[in-house]
């Protein structure tokens, strides 16, 4: 095994552990009102990731034309969720085993696309000798994102085993992306597609936050509006802070 591949494997292992750790925070949360606040926090994380990280990176690498894929990502999840996935039930905190669920899978798809791109970036960064910074940046984003995914899944009534399974597959998208970079970069020059893919992913994040998470928090968090607003702002501020740290 080459040193580059060994480094990527080590970084990917710790990112996977971070994704699982983020989901465990939600797994051990049992109060429904706290779960709604977690969903508000998840919305803030996704909005913050889109506005403070993904869109600036897309603009930096691909310019304004890359933004044309933002609505494409949004519409992609609209079509996917409305036509191919069952949507969440109207009372997610009281869903029965017969209720239809879809938001968790939708969120998993959106987050996984972004994580796959992170894997591409990690492979490129390690090759260029700046892998440590990429690892810190990815790890910093994966933990709150994993918490967001786990919050959505738990709101649908998913059990611990299912939540951890989703979190594990989500974390494994990093080594998959890195592997794709090593296998395909020479022929396809994947770094040229990263800005466009980031813009597309930003569109999926915006859809999940605006069309699903925030309406759910509004419906089920009326008794804790102040706390849920604080959770939303906390998610935004966390991603802003992480973006500034990564920038410097």
Here the tokens at position 21 are 């750790």
Helix (H) or strand (E) holding 226: helix 225-247
Residue 92, pLDDT score: 41
**Residues of the chain whose pLDDT is less than 70?**
1, 30-33, 84-102, 128, 130, 133, 185-192, 246-248
Q: Is the pTM of this model over 0.75?
A: no
Nearby residues of 71 by Cβ (< 8 Å), 6 or more positions away? 203
Residue 165, pLDDT score: 93
Give the Cα separation of 224 and 226 in Å (integer). Answer: 6
Residue 220, pLDDT score: 73
Give the Cα separation of 206 and 208 in Å (integer). Answer: 6
Residue 95, pLDDT score: 41
Residue 247, pLDDT score: 65
Give the Cα separation of 168 and 128 in Å (integer). Answer: 27
Q: Which long-range contacts (CB under 8 A, 24 or more apart) does 165-168 make?
A: 166/23, 166/104, 166/108, 167/19, 167/20, 167/22, 167/23, 168/16, 168/19, 168/20
Report in angstroms the alpha-carbon separations of 197 from 31, 57, 219, 220. 37, 11, 33, 33
Contact 206, 70 (CB under 8 A): yes
Instruction: Give the other-Cβ count within 10 Å of 168's Cβ.
Output: 14
């Amino acid at each position: 095994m080459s040193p580059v591949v060994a480094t990527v494997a080590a970084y990917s292992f710790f990112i996977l552990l971070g994704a699982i750790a983020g989901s465990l925070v939600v797994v051990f949360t049992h109060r429904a009102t706290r779960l709604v606040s977690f969903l508000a926090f998840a919305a803030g994380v996704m909005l913050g990731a889109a506005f403070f990280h993904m869109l600036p990176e897309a603009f930096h690498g691909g310019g304004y034309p890359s933004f044309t894929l933002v609505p494409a990502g949004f519409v992609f999840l609209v079509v996917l969720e409305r036509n191919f996935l069952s949507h969440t039930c109207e009372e997610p905190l009281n869903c029965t085993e017969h209720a239809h669920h879809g938001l968790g899978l939708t969120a998993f798809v959106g987050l996984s696309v972004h994580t796959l791109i992170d894997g591409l970036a990690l492979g490129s960064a390690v090759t260029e000798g700046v892998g440590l910074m990429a690892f810190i940046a990815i790890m910093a984003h994966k933990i709150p994102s994993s918490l967001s995914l786990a919050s959505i899944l738990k709101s649908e009534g998913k059990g611990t085993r299912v939540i951890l399974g989703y979190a594990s597959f989500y974390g494994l998208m990093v080594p998959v992306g890195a592997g794709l970079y090593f296998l395909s970069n020479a022929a396809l020059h994947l770094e040229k597609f990263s800005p466009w893919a980031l813009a597309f992913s930003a569109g999926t994040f915006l859809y999940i936050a605006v069309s699903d998470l925030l309406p759910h928090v509004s419906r089920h968090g009326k008794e804790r509006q102040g706390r849920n607003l604080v959770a939303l702002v906390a998610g935004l501020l966390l991603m802003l802070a992480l973006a500034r740290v990564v920038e410097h």
